[in-house]
């Protein structure tokens, strides 16, 4: 599997080396449990070893609706059962974060604490580097 990750890193670096834009947002999509987080973390670690601070990982888990928000939905049981569906994410907050990072070259993103089941605000620091 390591070879696959290394190939992805080399492909990414080759694609961006001749582009003048210095900021990239790369989205990874797939069904729950398909390995998106594992893939992204492995590739990000390898990229950052080759070029320090070249990338930050912002997981969508940090944009889950808080349990307190799910508790206010019309069908609470359904909301919890379907947590992870688009209607249970704060997509506007994610969009605004991307705009902020694009404009200011830095920002703070939420992470997700699986022990408490809620996002942790401003837990991921995105630096200018």
What number is the average pLDDT over the span 21-28? 76
Q: How far is CA 64 from the centre of its chain?
A: 12
pLDDT-derived band at 26, boundaries 50, 70, 90 = confident
- What is the per-residue pLDDT for 68? 96
Q: Is the pLDDT of residue 2 over 90?
A: no
Label each residue of the chain as H, E or C.
Answer: CHHHHHHHHHHHHHHHCCCCCCCCCCCCCCCCCCCHHHHHHHHHHHHHHHCCCCCCCCCHHHHECCHHHHCCCCCHHHHHHCECEHHHECHHHHHHHHHHHHHHCCEEEEEEECCCCEEEEEEEEECCC
- What is the per-residue pLDDT for 54? 82
- Helices 36-50 and 2-16, packing angle to 10 deg: 60
Average pLDDT, the chain: 88
Q: Is the pLDDT of residue 38 over 80?
A: yes
- Residue 58 has phi, psi (to 5 degrees) of -120, 105
- What is the per-residue pLDDT for 77? 96
- What is the per-residue pLDDT for 75? 96
- What is the per-residue pLDDT for 127? 83
Each residue of 46-99: pLDDT tens digit? Answer: 988 988 888 888 888 899 999 999 999 999 999 999 988 889 999 999 999 999
What is the pTM assigned to this prediction?
0.76
- Torsion-angle region of residue 35: left (phi > 0), alpha (psi -120 to 50) or beta? left
- What is the per-residue pLDDT for 1? 75
């Amino acid at each position: 599997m390591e070879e696959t990750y290394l190939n992805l890193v080399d492909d990414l670096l080759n694609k961006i080396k001749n582009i003048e834009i210095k900021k990239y947002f790369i989205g990874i999509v797939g069904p729950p449990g398909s390995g998106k987080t594992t893939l992204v973390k492995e590739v990000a670690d390898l990229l950052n070893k080759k070029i320090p601070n070249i990338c930050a990982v912002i997981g969508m888990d940090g944009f889950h609706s808080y349990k307190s928000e799910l508790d206010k939905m019309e069908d609470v049981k359904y909301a919890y059962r379907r947590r992870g569906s688009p209607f249970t994410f704060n997509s506007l907050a994610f969009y605004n974060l991307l705009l902020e990072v694009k404009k200011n070259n830095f920002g703070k993103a939420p992470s997700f604490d699986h022990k408490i089941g809620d996002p942790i605000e401003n837990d991921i620091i995105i630096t200018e580097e």
